[in-house]
Amino acid sequence: MTLLLSSPALGHHSFGAEFDENMPVTLEGTVVRFEFMNPHSWIHLDVEDEDGNPIRWAVETGSTNALFRRGWRKDSLRAGDRIRIDAFRAKNGSNTANANSVELPDGRLFDAGSSRNAN
């Protein structure tokens, strides 16, 4: 199943204030925790640096309601899952980002909540 998305994630409020379209990041790592909630869900994952040390990232996605209608469930991501996220980094340079899309090891791409579509 592929639910492709190229548009920014939606809160029903603006996230342009916090995240930078000029700072795209691709994060490959291991899920630590997935918080399925409003106003945003959060994916906490460990991304390894060059020395193999895990760096903790917090990645914001759309609201639970938006994700639910795109097929997400609270156990869609479990601790230990290896995933790849395309996201935009926070303007303040912290290890925080806003997700565009999330790819699972089996190749499924999850839409992270598009502002272009209905919810």
Partner 1 sequence: MNPRWVFLCLLTGFGLTWPAYGQEPDLRGIWQVRNTANINLEGHPALDGMEASASHVVDPEDGRIPYLPSAVATRDENYRNRETADPQTLCFQPGVPRATYVPEPFQIFQEPGRVFIVYQHVHAYRIVYTDGREHYDPGIEFYMGDSRGHWEGSTLVVDVRNFKEETWLDGAGNYHSTALRVVERYTPTSTERMVYEATIEDPEVFERPWTIRMELERLPEPESQLLEHECERDETGEWRHPPELGGPG
Partner 2 sequence: MTRLAIGVIAALLSFVPSVAAQDDSAFEPPRLENGRPNFRGIWMNGSISAAFDVETHPDAFGTRGGQSAIVDPPDGTLPYLPGAREVAQDNNLHRERDPVSHCHPHGPPRAMLPPFPMQIVQDGDYVVFLYETEHAVRIIPTDGRPHLDGYSSWSGDSRGRWEGDTFVIDVIGLNGRQWLDQAGNYLDANARVTERLTMIDPDTIEYESTVDDPTVYSEPWTLRVPLRRRPPDVELLEYGCIEGDRDFADVVN
Phi, psi angle pair for 107, to nearest 5°: 95, -10
d(C-alpha 49, C-alpha 115), whole Å: 32
C-alpha 65/C-alpha 83 separation (Å) is 22
Check binding of 88 to partner 2 (CB under 8 A).
yes
Site membership for partner 1, residue 69 (CB under 8 A): no
Measured from the CB atom, the residue of 35 and 103 that comes closer to partner 2 is: 35
Span interacting with partner 1, options 12-20, 21-29, 73-81, 89-97, rule CB under 8 A: 73-81
Q: Is residue 3 a contact residue for partner 2 (CB under 8 A)?
A: no
Q: Under a CB-based contact definition with an 8 Å cutoff, are residues 89 and 97 in contact?
A: yes
- Kindly state the helix (H) or strand (E) to which residue 22 belongs, with its residue range: strand 19-35
Residues 19-38 contacting partner 2, CB under 8 A: 19, 21, 35, 37-38
Instruction: Tell me the site size for partner 1, rule CB under 8 A.
Output: 4
Instruction: State the Cα–Cα distance between residues 45 and 25, nearest whole angstrom.
Output: 14
Q: Which residues bind partner 2 (CB under 8 A)?
A: 8, 10-19, 21, 35, 37-39, 42, 58, 60, 63-66, 68-69, 88, 94-96, 115-119
